Amino acid sequence: MAKRIQFSAHGGPEVLQYQDFTPQDPADGEVQVENQAIGINFIDTYVRSGLYAPPSLPSGLGTEAAGIIVKTGSGVKGLKMGDRVVYAQSALGAYSQIHNVLQDKVALLPDAISFEQAAASFLKGLTVYYLLRQTYEIRPNEIFLFHAAAGGVGRIACQWAKALGAKMIGTVGTAEKAELARQAGAWETINYREENVPERVAALTGGKKVSVVYDSVGKSTWEASLDSLHRRGLMVSFGNSSGPVTGVNLGILNLKGSLFVTRPALNGYVTNREELALASNELFSMIASGAIKIDVPASQKFPLAEATRAHQALESRQTQGSLLLIP
């Protein structure tokens, strides 16, 4: 027997249930991982609430964790029992002591990186990788705008941007979060509660504005993001923390300067083992070199049984960086 989190109805954090289950043996091409640390991501709240509905209910939750392979299915190559691994694109159910994962979704974890570092950074780090390196390749000295700069993804983006020699303008909601973003490597910050974002972007760029905006907030920042772009700029909408962007009149892209918009996701960029290896190796190199530092405060580590409390903390917007569940 093992423990996992399940939910039988969509709703708030209170729908999450801590339950016993009997793990099944891994199927062909799968490995069974004994999780040591589990990543909590904002997309998990979308699945729980029903915005991104799972195939059926009851359902497990979570797609990211780090741990040790304890069993392998037939046909598995390049992975064995005892290997330290991390994954971020599993089937739902990573909020669990034991989870079966397709071998193509698993990356070997270097000894220099702890399970907690890996679980706190893998999905977020791979997200920053595809955003800054593939959706739009950020160049040295380039100025760009990144919303929610003090969040889990945002703080990794601050550090990665600095390592690339770029100038990231990060939006935040408090002075404390502004300081955190600057410490992580943001070139400048904008407090969206007190400042007009497009006006500040224009001031910081000498009126030129930016080529690209990365926006995980969604509904509440849509207009401000478009207004921060210069002619033929790219709006990268990759999240909905304030609600989804709906009812968009495409004519607005014309009026604001023949703008481009994309709605990317990791699953569109990391689709096989080769792409996962390329992305994870670059991320691990950044962490191992110290260019990206991953440190989860004790107050943001929760026992697996307290997933409800962890989700309440995440949605309170009072957390800083990554949150973890510890089995």
HEC string of 92-122 equals: CCCCECEEEEEHHHEEECCCCCCHHHHHHHH
CATH 1.10.260.40 describes domain 2-121+269-326: no
Look up residue 49 and give its amino acid: S
Task: Check residue 245 and give its pLDDT.
Answer: 80
Pair 146, 169: CB distance under 8 Å: yes
What residue spans define the domains of the chain? 2-121+269-326, 140-264
Query: What burial class does residue 146 get, using C-beta atoms within 10 Å of its C-beta: 0-12 exposed, 13-18 middle, 19+ buried?
Result: buried
Tokens coding 143? 């100025």
How far apart (Å, rounded) are the C-alpha atoms in residues 275 and 104? 10
pTM summary value: 0.90
Q: How do residues 77-125 score in pLDDT, each as one tens digit? A: 999 999 999 999 999 999 999 999 999 999 999 999 999 999 999 999 9
> Which residue(s) pair with 106 in the sheet?
87
> Which residue(s) pair with 151 in the sheet?
321
Task: Check residue 3 and give its pLDDT.
Answer: 98
The H or E element spanning position 287 is: helix 273-289
Q: Do domains 2-121+269-326 and 140-264 have the same CATH topology?
A: no
Task: Check residue 162 and give its pLDDT.
Answer: 98
Provide the H-helix boundaries in 15-114: 42-49
Q: Tell me which fold the domain 140-264 belongs to.
A: Rossmann fold (3.40.50)
Report whether pLDDT(295) > 80: yes
Report whether pLDDT(319) > 80: no
